Amino acid sequence: MKRLSRYRRHRFAGPVLLVFALFMIGTTFSVASATTQKSASTLVRSAAVDEGRQIFLKGCSSCHGLNAEGGSIAPSLIGVGAAAVDFQVGTGRMPMADMSVQAMRKQPAYTPDEVAALATYVASLSPGPAIPTQDVVNYERDGNTAQGGELFRTNCAMCHNFAGQGGALSQGKFAPSLMSSEPVQIYEAMILGPQSMPVFSDKVITPAEKLSIIKWIKASQSEPAHGGASLGRVGPVTEGLLIWTLGLGLLIGIAVWLATKAR
């Protein structure tokens, strides 16, 4: 105490005391006003929101607007939720490489952490579908492959092909192949309906049924080609092409050889 009092007339004493007083007031206020746990997570989230906003302003705002309000070439992102950001940016579809009819799947432009920050920022604008947690998307535990196959054939196969290989839509649009899709992305696509895809509501296809569909797709991804060459699993097109060119060509060759006189 004595040592401290020696400095009481020091020229920095005033400012130091002021800083100390401010710090004490702030700490007391934060302890008194809210539980420390909650305020800490709020701080982290607002930091993520700020980081996400910075990424958004650099990478997205030229089309989606400075406040994600949308523009003439891009939709508003207010209310689309974190799941939409995780799907579109996490699969590399956004940012788009060019203004073609459909955003293509490609190498993501942002790291998973940056995608998460962007998602937090967009979710902070207005509530929307959240990213499903790993526990929700535990398809190994909660899915049923056979049921998933039945659901897939009724609800998905018309666009994504009976084996999930994708297929053509109108005017250059297409349903992508599902052979490299991740469970969380499939789940997000079903609840969001990205691009041309319609929404599959939780009451129409329940979360448990969604997991069954995911389990069937994962089983299809690792399904070995038991019958020899699968020819892309797109059905009669490649099979017909092969038999009409290679098969028929071989038969014509043999017919010509049969009818040639030996020398």
- Residue 16 as a binder of another protein (CB under 8 A): the answer is no
The residue among 67 and 102 lying less far from another protein, judged by its C-beta, is 102
Provide the 3-class DSSP secondary structure of residue 25.
Answer: helix
- Residue 200 as a binder of another protein (CB under 8 A): the answer is yes
- Residue 222 as a binder of another protein (CB under 8 A): the answer is no
Stretch that binds another protein, among 61-69, 84-92, 180-188, 220-228 (CB under 8 A): 220-228
Interface characters, 120-159, with another protein (x: CB under 8 A): ---------------------------x--xx--xx--xx
H-type helices in 60-192, by residue range?
61-64, 81-90, 112-125, 139-142, 145-155, 157-160, 183-192
As given in the structure block, the two tokens for residue 203 are 């009451």
| Backbone phi, psi, residue 174, to 5° | -150, 155
C-alpha distances in angstroms, 223 versus 187, 217, 233?
21, 10, 11
Binders in 169-198 for another protein, by CB under 8 A? 169-170, 173, 175, 193, 195-198
Provide the 3-class DSSP secondary structure of residue 97.
Answer: coil
- Please state the closest distance from residue 62 (CB atom) to another protein, in A: 21
- Please state the closest distance from residue 172 (CB atom) to another protein, in A: 12
Binders in 103-122 for another protein, by CB under 8 A? none
The residue among 61 and 230 lying less far from another protein, judged by its C-beta, is 230
Q: How many residues bind another protein (CB under 8 A)?
A: 38
C-alpha distances in angstroms, 245 versus 96, 167, 239, 242, 252?
39, 23, 10, 5, 10
C-alpha distances in angstroms, 8 versus 21, 22, 23?
15, 18, 19
Residue choice 135, 229, 236, 256 for contact with another protein (CB under 8 A): 229
- Residue 71 as a binder of another protein (CB under 8 A): the answer is no
The residue among 123 and 151 lying less far from another protein, judged by its C-beta, is 151
End-to-end CA distance of the chain: 122
Report whether 211 contacts 139 (CB < 8 A). yes
- Round to whole Å and give the CA distance between 41 and 8: 39
Q: Using CB under 8 A, list all residues that contact another protein.
A: 147, 150-151, 154-155, 158-159, 167, 169-170, 173, 175, 193, 195-206, 209, 224-230, 257-258, 261-263
